[in-house]
Chain A
Amino acid sequence: MSRLLQRAGLRFLLRHPWQYALSVAGVALGVAVVLGVDIAAGGARKAFDASRELVVGRATHQAVPADPFLADEIYTRLRVELGVAAAAPVLEGRIRAGGETFSLIGIDSFAEGPFRDYLDTGADGIDLTALLTRPGTVAMTRQAARARGLSVGSRVPMDDAAAPTALEIGALLELDDARSRGADGLLFADMAAAQELLGRVGQLSRIDLILDADGEQRVKDWLPQGLELIPTAAQASSLDQMTRAFRINLLALSLLALLVGAFLVYSTLSFLVVRRRTTFGTARSLGVAPGQLFRNTLYEALLVGVPGTLVGIVLGLVLGVGLTSLVLRTVDDLYFRVQVQSAGIPPLSLLKALLLGLGTSLLAAVPPAVEAARTAPRSMLTRASLERRIRRQLPWLAAGGLALAFLGWLLLRAGTDSLVLSFAGLFAVVVAAALCTPPGLAALMAATERMARDGGGQVTRLAARGVTASLSRTGVAVAALTVAISTVVGVGLMIASFRGSVDQWLQQTLTSDFYFAIDEAFEAGGSDVDAFVAELAEVPGVADVTRSQRRRLTTGDGQVRLWAVDPGSRDLTITFLEGDRETAVASFLDGTGVLLSEPFARKRGLVVGDTLSLPTPDGPRSWLVTGVFIDYSSDQGSAMFSLEHYRSTWNDPGLQGIGIMAEEGQRDVLRPRLESFLAAHAGLEFAANAEIRQISLEIFDRTFTITRVLQLLVGLVAFLGMLSALQALQLERIRELSVLRAVGWTPRGLIGLILGQTGLMGLGAGLLALPVGIILAALLVFVINARSFGWSMDFSLEPMILGQALLLSVVAALLAGAWPAWRTIRTATAAGLRDE
């Protein structure tokens, strides 16, 4: 008997190929999005790990200077006097060669063994003798060399004036893909060559160490002032933290897609069950046990779930490639340098997708399966009684939705420190909205009906009633559409708010007309920054010159970005969120206080009046926090000092940025004068403020490309859901429509009725989605973003986005209704009446 049932189920699906295909597609898309995002996040993670391995290796600690560099004799003394066995010196810097900027890493290959493996690539092809004994010799990965048409012995002209005029490729490193991705822009050199190439003879960036507890104490006691011993675990976790928020955000979006996919499975299977009430009733009277019907429905869920999951996995792999490059580009833009390339496919991701696809299908099938098992023998529920029951359930759905919304609110409140809890709360709110959709729709339709009755619109009344009457079939689809549209609204509003805030911030911050960016090559090329600034100030047409330096300080709590600013003769162009502007600026100028960017203050829980302690060459020092300012330049945040104070504290005479204010009306003539400096110095870049603003916004938009792509996919899944549900509905209604046709409705009238009905559904979904979307946006802006990245922003309620969403909802519903309508009209004839 059960086999008979199974075959009946399969045949039913095959007899409704569109219905079947749509639900398979729904599952497939959901699975694909989850898998694609998983692969992409894995790729980001791998790139991140590879970078970290290259940077940190197996070091347990790093000795880092508060100055930019430390004297290399400290390393010698550490090894020879203190006898620390596992220690390796590192010197890092940038050089420009062959028209490209590379990160150059100087190492002592004799000491590298315990730390990093990248030199251990077999004897073939690595001529360490050349690297050790020939000046100007560097190593790069084979992949990087191939990409640039280089090989061992190639010479790459250096773009700066420092010592040798060309780099020689002395060796190629054979790294696996993941590691070489992390190493594309890297050059490795022996310490001697690195010191010479970077113009840093006698200097190191840091010392890597492998220490146990005793060793740690010994080294700590021994280290001269100005050097700090930092466990790498702290750094690793701060690096991990850096991308964590980003990854969780991606995951949340992908789960949303799966959620919508689950709605789709649920709606299809409900449809299957409802359609076969008679069959089940007959089966029951023939002695089929309720349990068998239950299992049978689950089996049918697998008929959808298995092909859906498999197709989804294939799609997901394809999607993964595209998303990976999007994610890596974002990581590259925002966090650290990685090469954009596709990552491998982690088997665990495949398994996850498989389980998620099948599990979701089965889970979504449970309510319909219960429904099927409850079927009474022969005494079938009529459609009408079914709909009545659904309508009786509406208040309960609403109550459930409200309860869930309350739960979501609790989660959001509890999750101040936990992004996962915050997202769980967000999801609860989304699901609550989905639950409230059928009752909400019923209420909307009742209102419409009343209005139509008063206004005398018969078709509208019929349509509105039709929507309410078919809630068993359409409720889920409308809920899915509501969720999708509200996501569109929520994410759209969030991005718009964010973008608006960033743009406003850029305008306020970029007050100079032109900017020079300076890198290490400038000094290595023999130029002096202060002399350059003085020279610039003398250029006719220059009204004012501002200077800034950025620097990462490694501390026990991870890295701190210092931002040292000399605003010239103008006021600081930052906007304060906290603190009294006058006091803050005064303390900034006299060096008694520190100004923190918002993400920095949030991440460390610092407020005005607290103190911030930082390592300096003279030992740790504390500053009073006197202000918190808006800054979107990094989600890691920075601590701001006046340039003068920074220079005297950290002995760093360098500059990274110079801003130039033109005299009134001199902008255009000044530009070529300033650009003429580019030829005279190495390591200079030049841009006008508008260009920087544009580039910044481009990066911003690129960052959210992946969000928009995922948003689109969620919408697509929802659209499929609508299509599937409406088709199911119209199939059911052929008889009813045939009657209408028989009583004289024209095909055009029928189409109007059907489209009116679906349009109303879309409109209802859209209207319900608007408040939900606004709530979502508010949660994203004020809760999720603030907790993920530490940024606050102005909430802007763009009417455009709301209008578009409403339109999208109606159009999606109409589109989804058009095909079933057309089919129905074709079949809604006398033949339709003969159906039974």
Chain B
Amino acid sequence: MSGPEPMSRSFRRPLLALVISGLLSACGAGKEPTGARVADYLGAGAGEGFARAQPGHRLAFPQDHGAHPRYQSEWWYFTGNLEGDAGRHFGFMFTIFRFALTPEAALRASEWGTNQAWMAHFAVTDTEGQALLKSERFARGGAGLAGASADPFRVWLYDWSASAAGGDGPFPMRLSAREDDYAVELDLSPAKPLVLQGEQGYSQKGREPGNASHYYAYTRLEARGQVVLDGEAHEVTGSAWMDREWSTSALGDDLAGWDWFALQLDDGRDLMFYQLRREDGGRGPFSQGALVAADGTRRGIAPADVRLKPRKWWRSSETGRRYPVSWRMRIDSLNLDLEIAARLPAQEMNLNVAYWEGAVSVTGSRGERGVGYLEMTGY
């Protein structure tokens, strides 16, 4: 989802670094790799030898639901807005990342031998309780501890997993993650077909060819299941979003971060838009957007058509960073003028790397309503 695109350098590299530093530190939060350390880890020419996304490459399923270990990074990204009894709102985010440490895996006698590192982030937003519960885990891609298979579909890191629940293909999918004090157990089934983002699943990230990712999504999944908070189970229903991306790519040096929107309107339209922010605050090239109509047809949005303006800021007491937690988005070509507001300002994912990822509500000037997820990095 969000992460996919911009993650390339300012996010993904730190991620690789933090996977490694995460091995070192206790799984505690608050530690953040510095740029210098990232560079130390990766050195020059990090992407050398890895597979690269190619234009014109046709994605094939079910194989592409599984892992692509020759690419440097990959993720299975799930977010969603859920409602419990009496309309109690919950947000969830569950992502499994894969990173290749080297282009080629050495031949090993031990099943623990691997060149693949895995990481997962899992968060639940309890809007009524004004709380964000979050955690992260790391594992090697060996000894059956973490991995992904295409058919039957299963991506897992220890006991956190998303897996096919008996159907033909990945759906219905069972998503299951449990922490000490919170858990999510959801059945997901698509309300719309799979969408290839970018050009037929090829999403350009930088100027040079190959500086791109393969990217597909399910922009609307029906979700049904349980959210458990402090031992109390809440039956929930709602809608979720799944993003899949793999790449060996890098962002331009002048980029500071990104703002990524995944919005689901009540009228059945889904809107994805991300803007890459330059250090100087301007919008970088290769920002992208797409609208998926109620019938599942996709149409690209020219970034120039999208006007975004932060309306309200929130300062994290943990990291001291300021995030815009309320936005106005105007897309004249679609006749949309939306107010996008965080369900809870304090949805900063302050883990080994800090970013903001949270549930939002959407209100349009023409009475549109909706839900969504917003990811912001580089603040």
Contacts and interface: CB of A to CB of B under 8 A. Distances in A.
Interface stretch (B59-67, B99-107, B278-286, B299-307): B99-107
Interface string B104-118: 011011111111010
Contacts of A75: 143
B112 A133 contact: no
B34 to A, nearest CB: 9
B145 A80 contact: yes
Contact of A79 (B17, B21, B158): B158
Contact of B24 (A81, A85, A120, A135): A120
Q: Among the interface residues A85, A121, A124, A163, which one has the most CB atoms of the partner chain B within 10 A?
A: A85
Contact of B102 (A85, A108, A129, A195): A129
B310 interface: no
B23 interface: yes
A190 B112 contact: yes
A80 B112 contact: no
A332 interface: no
Contact of B106 (A79, A126, A135, A195): A135
Contact of A192 (B24, B26, B113): B113
A752 interface: no
A87 B44 CA distance: 35
Say which size band chain A's interface belongs to: 35 or more
Interface stretch (B134-142, B164-172, B207-215): B134-142
Given A76-B144, A81-B159, A192 B112 contact: yes
Contact of A113 (B23, B108, B115): B23
A128 interface: yes
Interface in B89-131: 101-102, 105-106, 108-115, 117
Contact of A120 (B25, B110, B156): B25
Contacts of A202: 110-111
Interface residues of B, number: 40
B20 A129 contact: yes
Nearest to A125: B40
Contacts of B327: none
Interface in A321-365: none
Interface string B239-261: 00000000000000000000000
Contact of A80 (B37, B108, B159): B159
B24, B106, B142, B145 — most chain A CB neighbours (10 Å) = B24
A192 B143 CA distance: 9
A672 to B, nearest CB: 38
A83 interface: yes
Nearest to A75: B143
Interface in B1-52: 17, 20-27, 33, 37, 40-41
Nearest to B31: A120
Contacts of B179: 85
Contact of A201 (B17, B109, B114, B159): B109
Contact of B159 (A83, A113, A132, A196): A83
Contacts of A112: 23
Nearest to B158: A79
A594 B139 CA distance: 45
A72 B26 contact: no
A535 B125 CA distance: 70
Contact of A133 (B25, B101, B159): B101
A731 B247 CA distance: 97
Interface string B146-187: 000000000010110000000000000000001110000000
B115 A110 contact: no
A129 B42 CA distance: 10
A163 B107 CA distance: 13
Contacts of B139: 110-111
Nearest to B176: A83
B45 to A, nearest CB: 15
A449 to B, nearest CB: 79
A123 B41 contact: yes
A104 B101 CA distance: 24
A448 interface: no
Given A132-B114, A192-B110, A80 B156 contact: yes
A124 B40 contact: yes
A134 interface: yes
A195 B144 CA distance: 16
A73 B111 CA distance: 10
Contacts of A129: 20, 101-102
A192 B108 contact: yes
A110 B109 contact: no
Nearest to A108: B140
Interface in A185-216: 190-193, 195-196, 201-202
Interface in B51-95: none
Contacts of A111: 139
Contacts of B115: 132-133
B96 to A, nearest CB: 13
A123 B145 contact: no
Given A73-B143, A193-B113, 9 more contacts: A76-B145, A85-B137, A108-B112, A110-B22, A119-B23, A123-B17, A133-B102, A192-B113, A196-B110
Interface of A: 72-73, 75-76, 79-83, 85, 108-114, 119-121, 123-124, 126, 128-129, 132-135, 163, 190-193, 195-196, 201-202
Which A-B residue pairs are the 9 nearest by beta carbons? A83-B159, A192-B113, A192-B112, A192-B110, A195-B110, A191-B112, A113-B26, A109-B23, A76-B144
9 contacts: A85-B180, A113-B24, A114-B26, A120-B24, A121-B24, A123-B17, A192-B110, A193-B110, A196-B113
